[in-house]
Amino acid sequence: MKCPFCGEIDNKVIDSRLSKDGSVIRRRRECLLCSRRFTTYEHVEEITIMIIKKDGRREVFNRDKVRSGIKRACEKRNISIHVIEEFIDDLERDLRESGEKEVPSQEIGEKIMAKLHDLDDVAYVRFASVYREFKDVNDFISELKSLLSNQEDRNQDLRKPEVAGSETQPEAQGNTPEKKAAATGK
């Protein structure tokens, strides 16, 4: 490593420390010529992920851009920055682990919308309005109708009656009211 002060290549490592998340090693070095100390950081060189935009352009994946869009959608909503950061970490990890060097922006947008749909309906609609380029109020209404329809379906699933023989029915377990009264002495 070249000394930033005198340009000498010979130096010695005085101290090495691993970062909290284990992804970076911090090294304190001392130049053998000028005796000045400096810090270097060592990290794994990660594969550059290229994003294929709708118009065919290619850009390097930029987690700050993703964070900005999600934060804007979640503004004034009850979603912690920790949840947002965790999701972005998961998204980036999934992209890297896929092994693909180029990923369509639509794939990333759909993953973000799916996560926001699970987290907060308002944030989801905000993000969808920009991502899907809503042109007018009718686009909003259409998306809201779809969202409300999905909510009604989920609510109906929650209201379905229990299947006979499930563990919540006392008779199915042999715990009839008579047996309970005998067991408690009442």
The string of pLDDT tens digits covering residues 150-179 is: 776 766 666 666 555 544 444 444 455 554
- Which regions of the chain does DSSP assign to beta strands (E)? 11-18, 24-31, 37-43, 50-52, 58-60, 102-104
Q: What is the pTM of this model?
A: 0.54
Neighbours of 127 (CB within 10 A): 22
Q: What is the pLDDT of residue 171?
A: 44
The string of pLDDT tens digits covering residues 114-140 is: 899 889 988 988 887 777 777 777 776
CA dihedral 88, 89, 92, 97 (to 10 degrees): -150
Q: What is the pLDDT of residue 179?
A: 47
145 vs 78: which has the higher pLDDT? 78
- Reported as half-sphere exposure (CB side, CA atoms, 13 A), residue 186 has a value of 5
State yes or no: pLDDT of 87 exceeds 60: yes
Residue 80 binned pLDDT confidence (cut-offs 50, 70, 90):
very high
State yes or no: pLDDT of 147 exceeds 90: no
176-183: Cβ within 8 A, 24+ apart: none
| Nearest residue to 15 via CA among 38, 36, 32 | 38
148 vs 166: which has the higher pLDDT? 148
Q: How does the average pLDDT of the chain come out, rounded?
A: 82
Residue 62 binned pLDDT confidence (cut-offs 50, 70, 90):
very high
The string of pLDDT tens digits covering residues 31-56 is: 999 999 999 999 887 788 999 998 99
What region does 21 belong to: left with phi over 0, alpha with psi -120 to 50, or beta? alpha
* Residues recorded for the chain: 186
Residue boundaries of the structural domains of the chain: 11-43, 50-150
Q: What is the pLDDT of residue 163?
A: 54
